[in-house]
Amino acid sequence: MRAFEPDHLRADVHSSPNSGPRKDGKRVSFLVLHYTGMETGEAAESWLTNPQSEVSAHYIVHEDGRIVQMVPESERAWHAGQSSWKGETDINSSSVGIEIVNGGPLFDFPGFAEPQIDALIDLCKGIVSRHGIRPEAVLAHSDIAPARKIDPGEKFPWRILYDAGVGHWVSPSPIRGGRFFSLGDQGQPVEALQSMLALYGYCVPIDGVFGTTTELGILAFQRHFRPAKVDGVADMSTIETLHRLLSALPALTV
């Protein structure tokens, strides 16, 4: 395995062969967070550095807070797969990817350890600073690939990261009654909802039809920004939270 100097000073290096140059001169503009979804961190690290796996990430953050860098930030890691955000479909070439050790569905979606989150915040701050990544471009794997992925899941503490200066967040609007949209609904209000999702970055059609792709986009949005109820139904809480997130973006983005 090749040696390289870590970009994060507190990271150990365990080089992965599963990487390459960023394509078409793309620069880092996204930070994507994953969970490993495997039994142990050691198993995940071994898989991410195995040439037969054809997957990798720039970093893995273990439960005790230990950070291992597997791919230099200057290179393209293979962590995002088929994905899209704000029209960009080669997320691997325009992102840094972090795997966070967590068993996910294997262990009934456990919480994340405090030392792990503390180390992750420190790591994210450095990455965001080095590459000028905007707060709203700190993303979940499920945000960029809602049809395939659910990580890092609704138990991931996005609010704690935001309070520490990482990512974009507003307190979710309370869950209550009122008008809602769900699978099969059609019309201009659905088109307006789709337009808001697309404006934030989600890959959804703007056709006025609440189909499966729109439902998956709502599920991904809820996992990240309204995790108390993840059901794919665009209720008033979901719609209001989305509107407030858009309103909180810098004017040049909206």
**Is residue 31 within a helix (H) or strand (E), and if so which, with residue range?**
strand 30-35
Tokens of 140: 């979940």
12 contacts 81 by C-beta, under 8 angstroms: no
Contacts of 20 (CB under 8 A, 6+ apart): 75, 76
pLDDT of residue 2: 78
For residue 43, is pLDDT > 60? yes
Model-level pTM? Answer: 0.97
Contacts of 156 (CB under 8 A, 6+ apart): 33, 35, 100, 112, 140
Q: Which amino acid is at 118?
A: D
Neighbours of 157 (CB within 10 A): 17
Specify the residue for token string 């499920």: 142
d(CA 243, CA 111): 28
For residue 108, is pLDDT > 80? yes
Instruction: Give the model confidence (pLDDT) of 198-240 as tens digits.
Output: 999 999 999 999 999 999 999 999 999 999 999 999 999 999 9
Q: What average pLDDT does the segment 116-140 reach?
A: 98
d(CA 104, CA 101): 9
19 contacts 78 by C-beta, under 8 angstroms: yes
Neighbours of 161 (CB within 10 A): 21
Rounded to the nearest integer, the mean pLDDT of the chain is: 96
For residue 163, is pLDDT > 60? yes
- The sign of the CA dihedral 198, 203, 205, 209 is negative
Q: What percent of the chain shows pLDDT beyond 70?
A: 98
pLDDT of residue 251: 64
Does the annotation count 39 as an active-site position? no
Specify the residue for token string 């000028």: 132
Compute CA 11 distance to the chain's CA centroid, rounded to the nearest angstrom. 21
The pLDDT-based confidence of 178 (bands split at 50, 70, 90) is confident
The pLDDT-based confidence of 250 (bands split at 50, 70, 90) is confident
For residue 254, is pLDDT > 50? no
Report the SS3 class of residue 169.
Answer: coil
**Is residue 77 within a helix (H) or strand (E), and if so which, with residue range?**
strand 76-77
**Is residue 32 within a helix (H) or strand (E), and if so which, with residue range?**
strand 30-35
Q: How many residues does the chain have?
A: 254
Active-site position among 45, 63, 99, 136: 99
